[in-house]
């Protein structure tokens, strides 16, 4: 007997609570298996203009995880709505999340408006772990005022689709940032993005990554992400999507017990593209 794992999220029905996290599943196409088993797919982070990303090396191995400083390599918002989403919809009928990045409130609003008008997109997810070009490169999501400005602009530009904000854990009080997003009209929160880390090459004495620092992900961060989910879900009244270090069905259940309505699987997809399917079968 097939178990019913479906959930309701923002009025949408997901076949199960498992979502492939942004940046780890491309644009959902080109796989040699049926992706329709996955509850949701969060597309690769997208900015207003195409970006080539950071110079190599931009990925580094770590114990029980990895570092990445890819730098939001993407084809731009116009290519996303014109080419990537229609191509995905030819093979996938589940819930699609457009992950939107940017370097100013105006850029977020511009991208959100275009994503909001795209029929193939169900949810807009804001990546606020980007540097603010108007504030000397400080990360937008690390400052309450900057976060409020971005969410306010995105909310004004997003009238049809649920708006979810993906929080950075590299803050003093992630629950407080979540409350700011809720006050500015966010429908939900993804908790959390990667943790800031670095590696040093013992032969050269220099950082392994060309960008010096990168986002740390993988099973090592699961207890940290779980703590963030608990804190945010208990401080905010909007749905939380858990994310960080999930590699097995037990992790999904723990995230749900901590307060997550749905759970994203990230770095595990890079090790095994069918990780989401394995977890769903285990569930």
Q: Catalytic pick from 112, 118, 130, 276?
A: 130
112 in active site: no
Closest C-alpha to 121, from 10, 209, 201, 229? 10
The token pair at 24 is: 């780890």
How far, rounded to the nearest angstrom, does the alpha carbon of residue 264 sit from its chain's CA centroid?
8
Asked whether the beta carbons of 6 and 18 are under 8 A apart, the reply is no
3-state SS of 205-238 is CCECCCCCCEEEECHHHHHHHHHHHHHHHHHCCC
**Stated length of the chain:** 283
CA dihedral of residues 88, 90, 96, 101 (deg, nearest 10): 30
What 3-state class would DSSP assign to 20? Answer: strand
* Catalytic sites, residue numbers: 130
């Amino acid at each position: 007997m097939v178990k019913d794992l479906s959930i309701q999220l923002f009025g949408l029905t997901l076949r199960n609570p498992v979502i492939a996290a942004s940046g780890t599943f491309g644009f959902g196409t080109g796989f040699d298996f049926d992706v329709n088993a996955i509850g949701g797919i969060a597309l690769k982070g997208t900015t207003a203009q195409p970006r080539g990303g950071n110079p190599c090396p931009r990925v580094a191995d770590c114990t029980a995880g990895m570092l990445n400083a890819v730098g939001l390599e993407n084809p731009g918002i116009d290519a996303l709505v014109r080419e990537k989403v229609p191509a995905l919809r030819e093979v996938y009928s589940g819930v699609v999340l457009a992950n939107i990045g940017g370097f100013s409130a105006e850029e977020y609003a511009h991208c959100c408006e275009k994503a909001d008008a795209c029929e193939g997109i169900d949810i807009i997810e804001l990546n606020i772990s980007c540097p603010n070009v108007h504030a000397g490169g400080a990360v937008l999501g690390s400052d309450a005022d900057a976060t409020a400005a971005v969410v306010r602009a995105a909310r004004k530009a997003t009238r049809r689709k649920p708006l979810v904000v993906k929080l950075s854990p590299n803050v003093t009080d992630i629950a407080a940032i979540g409350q700011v997003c809720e006050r500015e009209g966010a429908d939900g929160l993804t908790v959390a993005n990667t943790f800031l880390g670095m590696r040093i090459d013992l032969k050269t004495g220099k950082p392994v990554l060309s960008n010096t620092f990168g986002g740390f992900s993988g099973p090592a961060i699961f207890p940290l992400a779980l703590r963030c989910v608990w804190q945010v879900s208990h401080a905010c009244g909007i749905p939380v999507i858990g994310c960080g270090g999930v590699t097995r069905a037990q992790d999904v259940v723990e995230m749900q017990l901590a307060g997550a309505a749905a759970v994203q699987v990230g770095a595990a997809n890079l090790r095994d593209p069918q990780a989401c399917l394995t977890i769903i079968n285990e569930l």
